[in-house]
Amino acid sequence: MAERKMHDIFVYGTLKKGQPNYHIMTDPNHGKAVFKGIGRTIDKYPLVIAHKANIPFLLNIPGKGHHIAGEIYSVDDQMLQFLDEFESCPDMYQRTIKRIEILEWGGKDDSPEGRAAANTIECFVYSTTSYLPEWLNLPYLDCYDSYGTHGLRYINRLDR
């Protein structure tokens, strides 16, 4: 059987390990996601917590804000499609390709040759160009944590 195509995706928000939606990445019913390592956006972006549900949004304004920390996964078509629906893409977020600096390889099957060959990788990222102007005045984060000292805990869909 032909191998299914995998896609590199960089997550910076609630999909990261230890964050409220990480369980999605590990649920085989949604497809496959393989952790590859941790990274940081090459470009700077504003990352804000907005909306009454305290949702992290990476605003697609390169050059403004900080280099954003996150995790790199390799996902199959099924998981990518599930994530698009979950993230209300393209309405709430748009999935675009951004260049990510690899800070630490974490995957089991990344060969030493592979490690040496590249320290950046192009990944899909959920960011948005549809934001309210006042979001630009919110604090810009560089590493999202729902449970951080900001006190703005993410509110699950079902609890909104």
Q: Does 39 bind ligand PCA (CB under 6 A)?
A: no
Evaluated on CA atoms 46, 54, 149, 135, the torsion sign reads positive
Min dist. Cβ of residue 113 to ligand PCA (A): 29
β-strands 94-105, 33-45 pairing: antiparallel
Q: Does 126 bind ligand PCA (CB under 6 A)?
A: yes
Q: Does 25 bind ligand PCA (CB under 6 A)?
A: no
Residue 113 annotated in active site: no
Residue 100 corresponds to which tokens in the numbers above? 């990510």
Q: Which of 31, 39, 56, 65 binds ligand PCA (CB under 6 A)?
A: 56
Q: Does 31 bind ligand PCA (CB under 6 A)?
A: no
Tell me the Cα Rg of the chain. Answer: 15
Could you tell me how far CA 85 lies from the centroid of its own chain?
14
Q: Does 131 bind ligand PCA (CB under 6 A)?
A: no
Tell me which amino acid residue 14 is: T
What is the set of active-site residues? Answer: 87
- By CB under 6 A, name the binding residues for ligand PCA: 11-16, 56, 87, 126
